[in-house]
């Protein structure tokens, strides 16, 4: 198996990297075609996404003498170290240099693009150009790097590594579970949906933490509940030990059930999980859902977000006939969405468009009242959905109170009972 094939996902990036590896390993073939050997590439993406692993596999595939530069020493000596490594790599060409976490070379300061470290790297890359020293770099945030360093001729291609897709994440979790003893009823898709939008490193940590829970309870296999607990505690910092009255617990369950029902009516099968356990930064529960088309925003997506945002408040007021006091963050987000629709998209007309940095006074006079009217309109539509699906809401409430957290498959099981 080729080294890059050991990495799950990122097929488009790997295909490109295999092409570059072939150029590096067969220069005569490409020279006959008049093709020049590329100077370098940059892999970017969030911490824990797999950039360094991808880079190391790429280096092994080239078979070249490897050198790695990381910011692991004081600034003055680090600059000299950069020069030393480049000189050594040049003497031992063909070689490859990995600039790992290059955006940290100047302490990750976005306002330090003229730092001596970057000037030195740029000069060293230019000095080895055309001398069979390939430059490979990783960065969490390439925007912290000077544009001159990233131009073609220094880094010919920049690849953005995104969070694993649902399909790839299932393979990744299955891989991490493959050498562990796991219960037969473990639902990997449920676990992946709980981890939606998290890195490969986070997925590995969750699987390992689930094993720790099982061991602490003196069990010989990892259960579905161990994995759920690991996800909710590690990723969302939830606690099952929060003191709370039965009345408040029910109100919280109704609030989250409202979000779930409206989300499932407007975007079927999109809810990943729902929880009524609290975390240090969030009073109350939460839901997670997969947005249609990823996070690309369309007018329909924004309207859907508005109605789902209003659903928690509306559910409490429909079921308990009282005002929900725990909706401030939801309402703030709803206000911002409606404000954006009016001022940035001209969906209704151009009367409230805000061009440039100045918000004109004559717009402000009427804008808030129009926003309030629009929110009321969306609220009434949301309330109607909940009234028509009250049995679904009630059953979700009972399930949330009983279990605390509901997985995707558990929500879908209830959904099938109430939605054709």
Local confidence band at 241 (pLDDT 50, 70, 90 cut-offs): low
CA distance 394 to 415: 12
- Do the strands 405-407 and 271-275 form a parallel or antiparallel pair, or are they unpaired? antiparallel
CA distance 159 to 18: 14
Cβ count near 8 (within 10 Å): 18
What does the pLDDT average to over 342-363?
A: 57
Specify the higher pLDDT residue, 321 or 354.
Answer: 321
Cβ contacts of residue 189 below 8 Å, gap of 6+?
A: 166, 170, 408, 409
Q: Which helix (H) or strand (E) holds 41?
A: strand 40-44
CA distance 374 to 5: 52
pLDDT exceeds 90 at position 293: no
Q: How many CA atoms lie within 13 A of 223 on its CB side?
A: 11
What does the pLDDT average to over 288-304?
A: 76
Cβ contacts of residue 141 below 8 Å, gap of 6+?
A: 44, 103, 108, 110
Whether 376 and 334 have beta carbons less than 8 Å apart is answered as: no
For the chain, which domains are there? Answer: 3-160 (3.40.50.300), 166-236 (1.10.8.60), 246-418 (1.20.58.760)
Helices 166-177 and 200-216, axial angle in degrees (round to 10): 40
Local confidence band at 367 (pLDDT 50, 70, 90 cut-offs): confident
Local confidence band at 346 (pLDDT 50, 70, 90 cut-offs): low
Residue 363: the pLDDT is 52
Does the predicted model carry a pTM greater than 0.75? Answer: yes
What does the pLDDT average to over 355-381?
A: 73
**Structure tokens that stand for 42 in this block:** 């940059």
Cβ count near 162 (within 10 Å): 13
User: Terminus-to-terminus CA distance in the chain, angstroms?
Assistant: 47
CA distance 273 to 121: 46
Phi and psi dihedrals of 185, rounded to 5? Answer: -90, 10
Specify the higher pLDDT residue, 419 or 97.
Answer: 97
Of 145-159, 208-222, 254-268, 273-287, minimum mean pLDDT range: 273-287
**Structure tokens that stand for 364 in this block:** 């402000």
Helices 361-388 and 328-340, axial angle in degrees (round to 10): 120
What does the pLDDT average to over 284-311?
A: 82
Q: What percent of the chain has pLDDT over 90?
A: 65
């Amino acid at each position: 198996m080729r080294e890059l094939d050991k990495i799950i996902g990122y097929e488009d990036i790997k295909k490109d990297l295999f092409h570059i590896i072939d150029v590096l390993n067969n220069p005569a073939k490409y020279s006959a075609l008049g093709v020049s050997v590329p100077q370098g590439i940059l892999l970017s993406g969030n911490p824990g996404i797999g950039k360094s692993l991808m880079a190391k596999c790429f280096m092994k595939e080239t078979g070249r003498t490897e050198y790695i530069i990381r910011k692991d020493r004081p600034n003055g000596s680090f600059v000299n170290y950069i020069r030393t490594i480049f000189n050594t790599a040049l003497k031992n060409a063909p070689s490859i240099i990995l600039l790992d976490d290059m955006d940290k070379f100047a302490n990750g300061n976005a306002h330090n693009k003229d730092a001596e470290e970057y000037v030195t790297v740029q000069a060293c890359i230019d000095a080895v150009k055309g001398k069979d020293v390939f430059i490979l770099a990783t960065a969490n945030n390439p925007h912290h790097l000077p544009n001159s360093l990233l131009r073609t001729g220094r880094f010919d291609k920049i690849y953005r590594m995104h969070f694993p897709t649902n399909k790839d994440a299932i393979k990744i979790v299955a891989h991490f579970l493959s050498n562990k003893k796991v219960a037969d009823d473990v639902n990997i898709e449920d676990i992946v949906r709980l981890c939606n939008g998290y890195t490969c490193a986070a997925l590995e940590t969750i699987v390992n933490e689930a094993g720790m829970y099982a061991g602490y309870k003196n069990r010989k296999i990892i259960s579905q509940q161990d994995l759920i607990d690991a996800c909710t505690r590690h990723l969302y910092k939830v606690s099952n030990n929060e003191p709370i009255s039965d009345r408040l617990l029910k109100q919280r369950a109704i609030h989250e059930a409202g979000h779930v029902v409206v989300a499932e009516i407007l975007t079927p099968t999109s809810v990943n999980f729902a929880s009524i356990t609290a975390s240090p930064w969030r009073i109350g529960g939460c839901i997670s859902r997969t947005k249609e088309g990823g996070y690309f925003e369309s007018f329909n997506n924004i309207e859907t977000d508005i109605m789902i945002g209003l659903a928690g408040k509306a559910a409490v007021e429909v079921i308990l006939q009282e005002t929900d006091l725990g909706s401030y963050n939801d309402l703030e987000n709803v206000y911002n969405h409606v404000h954006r629709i009016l001022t940035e998209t001209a969906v209704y007309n151009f009367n409230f468009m805000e061009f440039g940095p100045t918000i004109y006074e004559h717009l402000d006079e009427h804008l808030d009242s129009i926003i309030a009217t629009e929110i009321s309109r969306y609220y009434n539509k949301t309330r109607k959905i909940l009234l028509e699906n009250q049995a679904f809401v009630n059953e979700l409430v009972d399930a949330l109170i009983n279990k605390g957290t509901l997985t995707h498959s558990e929500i879908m099981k209830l959904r099938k009972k109430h939605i054709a």
